[in-house]
């Protein structure tokens, strides 16, 4: 599985856009990039998945450059309820994820 590196923590204020970048320099051709969100006392929840370029859903956008060695999760206009840990995961079909420590996002009023 491709090793990922993301910031341990980030702070933001309500209403701001938050971008969390993940590095995955040894990503393989068949690997997908997936982001999960985990609130305290809950299991992780799927947010978004992509392979290349840009993916957008009702929750977030995922930007993947052409070389795919990094990806950026973008959360528009965060609120207090977006305070959570965000995990970046890379792997291909047939594998299972190991979730690293993730990025702890704190949204301040």
Partner 1 sequence: DTAVSQTPKYLVTQMGNDKSIKCEQNLGHDTMYWYKQDSKKFLKIMFSYNNKELIINETVPNRFSPKSPDKAHLNLHINSLELGDSAVYFCASSQGRTGIFYGYTFGSGTRLTVV
Q: Which residues bind partner 1 (CB under 8 A)?
A: 32, 34, 36, 41-46, 49, 85, 87, 89, 91-102
- Which lies closer to partner 1 via its Cβ, residue 14 or residue 92? 92
Cβ distance to partner 1 smaller for residue 15 or 45: 45
Query: Nearer Cβ to partner 1, position 81 or 96?
Result: 96
How far apart CA 88 and CA 15 sit, in angstroms, is 23
Rg of the chain taking only CA atoms, in angstroms:
13
Q: Closer to partner 1 at the Cβ: 8 or 109? A: 8
Q: What's the min distance (Å) between Cβ of 5 and partner 1?
A: 14
Specify burial of residue 107 (Cβ count, 10 A radius: 0-12, 13-18, 19+).
buried
Task: Find residue 35's DSSP bridge partners.
Answer: 48, 88
Instruction: Provide, rounded to whole angstroms, the least separation between the CB of residue 25 and partner 1.
Output: 19
Q: C-beta of 59: minimal distance to partner 1 in Å?
A: 13
Task: Tell me how far apart the alpha carbons of residues 18 and 78 are, in angstroms, rounded to a whole number.
Answer: 7
Least distance in angstroms from the C-beta of 15 to partner 1: 28
- 88-to-15, 32, 108 alpha-carbon distances in Å: 23, 11, 23
């Amino acid at each position: 599985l491709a090793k990922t590196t993301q910031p341990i923590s980030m702070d933001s204020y309500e209403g701001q856009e938050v971008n969390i970048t993940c590095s995955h320099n040894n990503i393989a051709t068949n690997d997908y990039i997936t982001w999960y969100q985990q609130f305290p006392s809950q299991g992780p929840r799927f947010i978004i998945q992509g392979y290349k370029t840009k993916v957008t859903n009702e929750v977030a956008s995922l930007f993947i450059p052409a070389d795919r060695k990094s990806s950026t999760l973008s959360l528009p206009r965060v609120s207090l309820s977006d305070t959570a840990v965000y995990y970046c995961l890379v792997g291909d079909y047939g594998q299972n994820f190991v979730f690293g420590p993730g990025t702890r996002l704190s949204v301040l009023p």
